[in-house]
Structure 1
Amino acid sequence: MAKKSRTKARSAAPLAEGEVGPRQPCPCGSGKRYKACHGAPGGAATPYVARPFAGLPSECDIVAMRELVPAATAPLTLKDHPDRTVVLASLLPGAAPAMARESGQVWLGLQVQHHFGDPSRDLAAALERALAADEPGIIGLTDPPATGPRLQDLVVGDELDVTVHEGFEYWLADLEDTSGMETALEQANAAASPTARLTGVGAAYWTNVGTKEHLRWVMPEPEDQLLDALARLHAAGKDVLVPESRLVGMFRAHGLLAPVWDLAVGTGPEALEEPADRFARDLAEALADTSDLTSEERSARSGLANRQVTIR
């Protein structure tokens, strides 16, 4: 009987590109196996969406703010409430989904504790509750919003104006009385690694984690094409941005890849601007190349594919 079972397992059809196996971790981040979460009969409460921020302005920056950047904000323009001030933030106090502020502003948080399957629908639900709030305060989201709009249905615009902050002082920016908040702010700031967004290319973020520095660059291209292009550049020695830098792998988050470079301590973000611009041009040429990969390029691609970490 056991032998028959093993034979059946070996003969099972291979997974399609992007498909999640039943015994693999669920991509929603719940910690459960896929077959016990969004792959269970009937699925989870909310269907899992592999690329939830597609179609939003600056999708790559939104992914970076949710997964990589400690402290950043960007204003949102709402389709039906163009006069309301809405701020999209990487993190709000207490990892709150949203806040209705005393100033009348609405703040929307990306880094939250819940994972209901579609972060865009979660954001829209929190936003609508904050807009309708009668009093200022934290807006919670304890149950999955099974119906209702997604954030793409509520906002307009082509590009976000992202501001990366040194710390979380923006939590207090619209308050007159900040007494009693100093300790919480100091603790939050102490946990935030220095981070900067490069100005010449999109969604590329330098960070200093103390023992080393990194460049983490969220890219919008489809995974297969991007891996091919990165492999071509690696084989040609064109993925070294600055001396002592090395492309060490990549994150996969919300349907996008984010290549990661290790940098020597002391590099800083300014030294990366011109090399990153040059790399972007080389990457565009590599993406346009549809020829078969050479054996060296295939080897490089395999190495890159094996150095991926899925964080959502």
Structure 2
Amino acid sequence: MSKRARVAAKSAAPKKAKVRDVFVAVPFAGLTDETEWIALRELVPAATAPLKLNAELTEKYGDRDITLATILPMAWPAMVKADGRILLGLQRHVQSGDVNRDLAVALLNALETTPGQSVAVPALPGQGERLGDLLADGPLDLTMHETFGFWLDEGQDDDPGVAASLESANGAIAPTAKMAAVKAAYWTRMGEKSHIRWVLPHAESEALDALATLGAAGELTLGEQTRFAGMFRAHGRLVPVWDLPVDSEAAEWEDALAQFATRFEAALGKELTPEARKAKQGLIGRQLTLR
């Protein structure tokens, strides 16, 4: 083929559509347990929750056993066990600007993957279905785990290599407990401190104003020996953080957190005083953002 013919053939070939990344600031908005999805992705080391496909996909794929997991081995996006069970990982290495769409594509690809084989996912998922289009949405029935033993099938830990890998992963788990006083709040112990972190279910501006009102009134702590450490933004929601005595346990702070939640609800929607506006600037200056 002549050079001219090759150039003509190349120009005549259909061009592959370019997939662009799109950033979605509040990716879990619309899901019943939005704040728990955020907490499992950003706060909780080891937890699982069953997921159920909607009626249309159940008719197509059957009543598949699907489990949402905080993280999978090597931060894989999904696993399909030899018996067809699917594990969907929230915390992963490869991700786009739309976490919800990433998870939806991982789930769809897992549904099409032969049991026991690796699940392939694209670096950029492109436009398409989101979790709300695939799942029978509802509250997450969470199970907290002290180890990553849920990764393994029965007998797998007999393999020395698997056992060593699991031991290493387990060693990185910080003690974590789910608080009962409010949704999406978790106690954890890290190093020399214990903390409580709470994913607030309100728009950022609304939540920030309420925190500023409490800050101006000196009501941001959870009581004596505690400190309001600041907050971070995660997937479009604010997450306040409290420092606690390192030797305290989660159950000791249920009442204090419930009382704070009552104060917080009362502060929502209040017009900011000059003192609260000053407190707001201080809060903004200490705010971090997680994507």
TM exceeds 0.5? yes
* 1:127-138 to 2 correspondences below 5 Å: 127-138=107-118
Partner of 1:303: 282
Count of residues in correspondence between the two structures: 267
Aligned AA for 2:136? V
1:229 aligns with 2:210: yes
Q: 2:30 aligns with which of 55, 61, 65?
A: 55
Provide, for residues 96-118 of structure 1, a one-character-per-residue CA deviation record: whole Å limited to 9, x for no partner: 00000123211100111112111
Larger of the two Rg values belongs to structure: 2
Instruction: Structure 1: give runs of 5+ residues left out of the alignment.
Output: 1-42
Deviations 1:158-183, CA, capped at 9 Å, x for gaps? 311122211211112x4343322211
Q: Distance in 2 between matches of 1:47 and 1:107?
A: 25
Structure 2 vs 1, CA of residues 171 and 53 (structure 1 numbering), >3 Å: closer, same or farther? same
Aligned AA for 2:34?
E
* Residue 47 (structure 2) aligned to one of 62, 72, 89: 72
Q: Quick one: which amino acid aligns to residue 116 of structure 2?
A: P
How many angstroms apart in 1 are the aligned matches of 2:114 and 2:289?
A: 39
SS at match of 1:139: coil
Are 1:113 and 2:93 an aligned pair? yes
2:235 aligned residue (254, 257, 267): 254
1:236-273 superposed Cα distances (whole Å, 9 cap, x missing partner): 22222132111111111111111111111112110111
Indicate the SS of the match to 2:241. strand
Whether 1:269 aligns to 2:244 is: no
Segment drifting more, 201-210 vs 72-81: 72-81
- Give me the identity figure in percent: 46
Q: Which string of whole-angstrom CA distances, capped at 9 and with x for unpartnered residues, describes residues 118-173 of structure 1?
A: 1111111110111111231331324311132111111123311122211211112x
**Residue 221 of structure 2 is aligned with which of 240, 243, 246?**
240
* Contact preservation (8 Å) 2:206, 2:269: no
Taking the TM superposition and a 5 Å limit, the aligned residue runs for 1:1-312 are 45-79=20-54, 80-81=57-58, 83-172=63-152, 174-180=153-159, 181-289=162-270, 291=271, 293-312=272-291
2:85 is aligned with what amino acid? Q
Give the TM-score normalised by structure 2: 0.87
C-alpha distance in 2 between matches for 1:305 and 1:100 = 43
Provide, for residues 186-235 of structure 1, a one-character-per-residue CA deviation record: whole Å limited to 9, x for no partner.
10011111111101210001110021011111112111111110111122
User: Offset at 1:44?
Assistant: 7.3
SS state at 2:157 partner? coil
Indicate the SS of the match to 2:118. Answer: strand
Q: Distance in 2 between matches of 1:239 and 1:301?
A: 12
Q: Could you say which residue in structure 1 is the equivalent of 2:11?
A: none
TM-score (norm 1): 0.81
State the one-letter code of the partner of 2:74.
Answer: G
Runs of at least 5 residues in structure 2 that lack an aligned partner in the other structure: 1-17
Other structure's SS at 2:268 match: helix
Change (3 A) 1:203 1:143: same
Is contact 1:166–1:194 with CA below 8 Å preserved after alignment?
Answer: yes
RMSD (CA atoms) = 1.6
2:20 is matched by which residue type in structure 1? A
